[in-house]
């Protein structure tokens, strides 16, 4: 499928009866994605680490769009127990979901570890979403046009999966850790789609990136000196967050999008522009690396995938 014309959020199909979860939607790109999905009729669940900020975002969207339905729920992707609690709450309150948008992330932060001992970028950006998707998978089964959208970055092009040092224990670079996590996002998204196809699922997995967009991501993780530089470059070179959200919205809603697609801006270097189908680096399509990363991710998180139909699974105890 090719993207024709300059696609905008006005072209989002009717989303009534659909339920969407957007991680990290209390601010930035995720908040815009949540707002536009709600504008077009979806029930949206804002999943964020800060409960108060998530509730504020939900209230703001409902105030601006009185007919919308937006809820907030706490989710800390750096804590597997929080991910399990969030998934339990979603399963307890919803018979299904249609969209899971794995958007939340951190960028270029100093070396830290998650609650479970994972390097922060790898643990939050990749492992957290890997575990969340597995736990919510049964709710996406057999929903028409259901999708998992995983948000990557142009920075994945600088990434390498360092299987001998995934946690950055021997050599750590803030930007290298971020790039590795964004490459891991793509390996996961494409491998998930291959496994869904092999299991006969209607659900598809796609990926998207926002190009160079002015958001609070650049101003929250890096040290002060870099934040000051990026504040300036955001003003001079970045496109708006509204434009950056378009590839994510296209990946989530465009009819007939094929599983395994990757959507980004159509401008030079995929830095700016309207949504288009783009190509990731060759490393992102490495099936052997994807399988290896998948096995490691299951072992680290303790969360395993089950691609059998939900009715065929053993009852939960």
pLDDT-based confidence at 313, cuts 50/70/90? confident
* Spacing of C-alpha 200 from chain mean position: 23
Alpha-helical runs (H) found in 66-173: 80-93, 120-121, 129-140
pLDDT tens digits along 183-203: 999 999 999 999 999 999 999
Residue 209 has pLDDT above 50, yes or no: yes
Task: Judge if pTM exceeds 0.85.
Answer: yes
Residues in the chain: 317
Q: Is 305 a catalytic residue?
A: no
A 10 A CB-CB count for 55 gives 18
Q: For residue 226, what pLDDT is reported?
A: 58
Distance separating alpha carbons of residues 137 and 87, to the nearest angstrom: 10
Q: How confident is the model at residue 109 (pLDDT cuts 50, 70, 90)?
A: very high
Query: Please, what is the average pLDDT of the chain?
Result: 92
Can you tell me whether residue 147 is helix, strand or coil? strand
> What's the Cα-to-Cα distance from 159 to each of 22, 80, 110, 155, 229, rounded to whole Å?
25, 24, 17, 7, 22
Given 178, 212, 250, 262, the catalytic residue: 178
For residue 202 the two structure tokens come to 């209607």
On the question of pLDDT at 151 being above 70, the answer is: yes
* 313 three-class SS: coil
Mean pLDDT of 229-253: 79
Contact 149, 29 (CB under 8 A): no
Name the residue ranges covered by the structural domains of the chain: 13-303
pLDDT score of 232 more than 60: no
Instruction: Provide the pLDDT for residue 243.
Output: 96
Q: Give strand ranges (E) for the chain.
A: 19-23, 43-48, 69-74, 99-102, 147-151, 204-208, 262-265, 275-277
Options 3.40.50.720, 3.90.1150.10, 3.60.9.10, 3.40.50.970; CATH of 13-303:
3.40.50.720
Which of 12-21, 106-115, 234-243, 255-264 shows the lowest per-residue confidence on average (mean pLDDT)?
234-243
Please say if the pLDDT value at position 162 is more than 70.
yes
At 214 the pLDDT is 72
- Across the range 240-268, mean pLDDT stands at 96
Distance from C-alpha of 201 to C-alpha of 177, rounded to nearest angstrom: 33
CA-to-CA distance for 47 and 101, rounded, in angstroms? 10
pLDDT at 124: 98
Q: Is 32 helix (H, G, I), strand (E, B) or coil?
A: helix
């Amino acid at each position: 499928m090719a993207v024709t014309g300059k696609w905008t959020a006005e072209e989002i199909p009717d989303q009534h009866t659909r339920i969407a979860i957007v991680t990290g939607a209390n601010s930035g790109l995720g908040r815009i994605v949540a707002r536009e999905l709600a504008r077009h009729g979806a029930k949206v669940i804002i999943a964020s680490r800060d409960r108060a900020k998530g509730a504020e975002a939900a209230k703001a969207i409902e105030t601006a769009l009185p007919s919308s339905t937006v809820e907030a729920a706490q989710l800390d992707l750096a804590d597997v127990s929080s991910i399990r609690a969030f998934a339990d709450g979603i399963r307890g309150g919803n018979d299904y979901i249609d969209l899971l948008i794995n958007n939340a992330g951190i960028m270029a932060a100093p070396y830290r570890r998650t609650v479970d001992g994972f390097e922060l970028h790898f643990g939050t950006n990749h492992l957290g979403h890997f575990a969340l998707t597995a736990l919510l998978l049964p709710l996406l089964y057999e929903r028409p046009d259901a999708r998992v959208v995983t948000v990557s970055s142009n920075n994945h092009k600088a990434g390498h999966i360092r299987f001998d040092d995934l946690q950055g224990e021997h050599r750590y670079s803030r930007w290298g850790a971020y790039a590795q996590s964004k490459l891991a996002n793509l390996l996961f998204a494409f491998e998930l789609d291959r496994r869904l196809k092999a299991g006969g699922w209607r659900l598809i997995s796609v990926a998207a990136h926002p190009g160079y967009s002015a958001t609070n991501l650049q101003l929250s993780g890096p040290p002060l000196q870099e934040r000051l530089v990026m504040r300036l470059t955001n003003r001079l070179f970045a496109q708006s967050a509204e434009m950056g959200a378009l590839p994510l919205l296209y990946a989530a809603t465009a009819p007939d999008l094929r599983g395994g697609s990757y959507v980004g801006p159509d401008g030079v270097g995929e830095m700016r522009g309207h949504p288009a189908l783009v190509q990731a680096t060759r490393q992102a399509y490495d099936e052997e690396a994807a399988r290896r990363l998948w096995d490691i991710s299951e072992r680290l998180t303790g969360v395993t995938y089950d691609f059998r139909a939900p009715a065929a699974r053993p009852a939960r105890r």
